[in-house]
Amino acid sequence: MMKWEIERKFLVKGDTWRGQGQSRILRQGYLARTADRVVRVRQDGDQGFLTIKIRSGTDLTRSEFEYEIPLPDALALIDSLAPGEIIEKKRHVFNELGMLWEVDEYSGANSGLIVAEVELESEDQPFAKPDWLGEEVSRISRYLNVELAAKPYMGWKEEQHLAVRQV
């Protein structure tokens, strides 16, 4: 089913967000990628998903088509990828200040990176920002999961890590 995805993404500072809500492990990889669209396969617990995301002209809004697929199919597709192309993260989901937040704590080749996302109804929707939010990275492409699969966080040059360390 198609829906519009409008999300803002931020680096996370401190640990005051920890211990809230539910957590789960996600594994995902990208089967296809062009300048304006990606096809992702994801394992989310005992469920599998195939997702197509298409950029709609802005950096914040994309059309998203997501379909549940049998878990064995998702695992076979993930396993067909090279180990470095797979993103692994622990997702923490909770409400704070009236918004649903997803905090992704990456592992593997992206260890050390923690990013928070909030989905909005419109690009200009106002929302309160928790004190643990750092720099906004919504329009910085290297923080997209598809980019992290191709160029993992641990391989970034030292100066690219500085912004993360300062928050």
| Tens digit of pLDDT at every position of the chain (167 positions) | 778 899 999 999 999 999 999 999 999 999 999 989 999 999 999 999 999 999 887 778 999 999 999 999 999 999 999 877 899 999 999 999 999 999 999 999 999 999 999 999 999 999 999 999 999 999 999 999 999 999 999 999 755 555 554 44
Task: Classify the phi-psi angles of 45: left when phi > 0, otherwise alpha if psi is within -120 to 50, otherwise beta.
Answer: left
Q: What is the pLDDT of residue 166?
A: 46
For tokens 């992704």, what's the residue? Answer: 104
Active site residues: 30
Domain 2-166 bears CATH identifier 1.10.3470.10: no
Q: What is the pLDDT of residue 167?
A: 45
Query: Domain spans of the chain?
Result: 2-166
Q: CA 7 → CA 57, 81, 150, distances in Å?
A: 14, 27, 21
pTM of the predicted model, to two decimals? 0.89
Using CA atoms, how far apart are residues 114 and 164, in angstroms rounded to an integer?
Answer: 9
Rg (CA), the chain: 16
Query: What per-residue confidence (pLDDT) applies to 127?
Result: 96
